[in-house]
Amino acid sequence: MNLSYLLDPAHWDPSVSGSFPQLLLSHLWYVFLALLIGTVIALPIGLYIGHTGKGSFIAINAGNAGRSLPTLGLLMLMVTLLGLGLLPVLIALTVLVVPPILTSTYAGMRTLDRRVVDAAKGMGMRPWQVLTRVELPMALPVLMGGFRSAALQVVATATVAAAVGLGGLGRLLIDGLAVNDYSRVLAGAIVVAVLAVVLDLFLALVQRWVVSPGVSGRF
């Protein structure tokens, strides 16, 4: 295993173009934007479907539809239609993010103990209060599980941005393969894998912080 590219201090200098810190920041920016846009789209839809029970077929089939779409193929289609740039990449990554968040939100809402929800209604809570104060906090563990799954998928798949001339850690893979520099390819694969693990651990801490101890079972 040749780790010379990964261990070279020059490649960790933030002032050097194409260094690990610069590529990492670009990669995280793509991941952040895709997760933000995907959550803004999927979360309200999932909450509405889970709260009302209307349109459940959308949430049930969203997961299968998301897994069946080839991200690279979708990216190439978007590039053909929209040209090069960040927008085609964001569309492709957002399509990857939406299904797990949508299905986990719906699943979390529909697996709640309905007796608790009925008790909240019996106390005179309005529908929006039941949603925000009872259903959403109780559904957070499942919802966060879907968000973590989406984050891991988009961290790995954001490497396709390099295929259309953008930055990110995918540059190490694309450029390394172009010149048969397999040390660079290996370095890129290792950094992406480590980033995915670190991000998942961070989101696990966030989940522990935002989920009520009574819901998580820590009490």
Confidence of residue 196 (pLDDT cuts 50, 70, 90): very high
**Phi, psi for 53 (deg, rounded to 5):** 80, 5
Highest mean pLDDT pick, 35-39, 56-60, 65-69, 97-101: 35-39
Q: Residue 2 has what pLDDT?
A: 78
pLDDT tens-digit series, residues 154-169: 999 999 888 888 888 9
The percentage of the chain sitting over the pLDDT mark of 90, rounded to a whole number, equals: 33
Q: Is 158:170 a contact under the CB 8 Å cutoff?
A: yes
Tokens 């789209």 found at:
41
3-state secondary structure of 54: coil
Q: Residue 197 has what pLDDT?
A: 95
Q: Residue 51 has what pLDDT?
A: 77
Separation CA 143–CA 103 (nearest Å): 9
Higher pLDDT, 196 or 135: 196
Please report, as a single letter, which amino acid is at residue 59: A
Burial 22-41 (b: 16+ CB within 10 A, else e): bbbebbbebbebbbebbbeb
Q: Residue 22 has what pLDDT?
A: 93
Q: Residue 39 has what pLDDT?
A: 94
Reply yes or no on whether the pLDDT at 57 is more than 80: no
For range 12-17, the mean pLDDT: 86
Reply yes or no on whether the pLDDT at 64 is more than 70: no
Indicate the average pLDDT of the chain. 85
In the chain, what are the domains?
19-216 (1.10.3720.10)
Q: Residue 11 has what pLDDT?
A: 87
DSSP single-letter state for residue 124: T
Between helix 20-52 and helix 182-210 the angle, nearest 10°, is: 40
Residue from 45, 1, 59, 31 nearest 189 by CA: 1
Q: Residue 27 has what pLDDT?
A: 95
